[in-house]
Amino acid sequence: MEKLDLLYEGKAKKVFATDDPDALIVDYKDDATAFNGLKKGTIVGKGVINNRMTNHVFQLLEKEGVPTHFIQELSDRETLVKRVEIVPLEVIIRNVAAGSFSKRLGVPEGTLFEEPTIEFSYKNDDLGDPLINDYFARALNLATWEEIETIKKYAFKVNEVLKAYFLQAGIKLIDFKIEFGRFHGQIILADETSPDTCRLWDVNTNEKLDKDRFRRDLGNVEEAYNEVFSRLGL
Ligand code: TMP
């Protein structure tokens, strides 16, 4: 497998073409941003952790019936993935109130929901990834109804699998963001699942073990990423 041209550089990853038109190489960086790129920094070792953790989680999800873009881990920071067309939706599942939910609706952080919620943001940096609903997604022609139903079904399945996976490591899955892509017409899970894209709290102390430590200047950012990595035995 040959690594060819850099196709795209995002906030946390670089994406390279390969000699296989159906495959890409993602290369995870230590760069961190928040608030649509307004806050910038480095989380040393994050790229390695996010690469390993995403690959582990995606293989677990495959076994549980959620198709993903994962093909093969190539190195500490590089993974071969299926080349998808990203559906421009950020799909967010919440089990416990936190972040923008708490702020928008005045619900204290840490309030447990009776049932998980799902929401969509339109992936558009110029607009600041605005919150939309499924009818807006149709109006913007971001996905078909059939695709939206598949995305919802997979997103709740991801939640069930990941809640149990983190709980056995003493971690509560508060919420997370995932993204999907189209591969030869099929919806599959893409992007990453890591402390950058999940809220993860210690089951006993509610200590934050995720990117909120960076967003909110709580300190011990690298320590939190390393803690999750070692608790998961990665
Ligand atoms: P929020 O409470 O700020 O809407 O975030 C919900 C979840 O989505 C949280 O786990 C963090 C994750 N997230 C991302 O992965 N990328 C983003 O750009 C944002 C805003 C949130």
Closest to 92 measured CA to CA, from 115, 120, 70, 112: 120
pLDDT at 176 over 90: yes
Residue 114 has pLDDT above 90, yes or no: yes
- For the residues 148-165, what does the mean pLDDT come to? 99
Nearest CA to ligand 1 atom 7: 176
Q: What percent of the chain has pLDDT over 70?
A: 100
Question: Best of 50, 92, 94, 96 to mutate for ligand 1, by most ligand atoms within 8 A of CB?
Answer: 92
Test site for ligand 1: of 31, 113, 177, 178, most ligand atoms within 8 A of the Cβ: 177
- What is 113-127 written as a DSSP string? EEEEEEEEEE--GGG
Arithmetic mean of pLDDT, 188-192: 98
Q: Which two tokens stand for residue 117?
A: 């919620």
Which pLDDT does position 79 carry in this prediction?
98
Check pLDDT > 90 for residue 1.
no
Q: Does residue 95 have a pLDDT over 90?
A: yes
- CA nearest ligand 1 atom 2, residue: 99
What percent of the chain is predicted at pLDDT more than 90? 100
Distance, in Å, from the CA atom of 18 to the CA atom of 66, rounded to the nearest integer, reads 25
Residue 149 confidence (pLDDT) above 90: yes
**What is the pTM assigned to this prediction?**
0.98
**197 CA closest ligand 1 atom index:** 15
Give the per-residue pLDDT at 209. Answer: 99
Give 3 Cα–ligand 1 centroid separation in angstroms. Answer: 31
Only one residue has tokens 């906030």, namely 11
* Nearest CA among 176, 153, 154 for reference residue 67: 154
pLDDT at 96: 99
Distance of alpha carbon 35 from alpha carbon 55, whole angstroms? 26
Q: Which atom of ligand 1 is nearest to the CA of 103?
A: 2
For 62-75, what is each residue's pLDDT tens digit? 999 999 999 999 99
Residue 50: band (very low, low, confident or very high) from pLDDT cuts 50, 70, 90: very high
Ligand 1 center to residue 35 CA distance, Å? 10
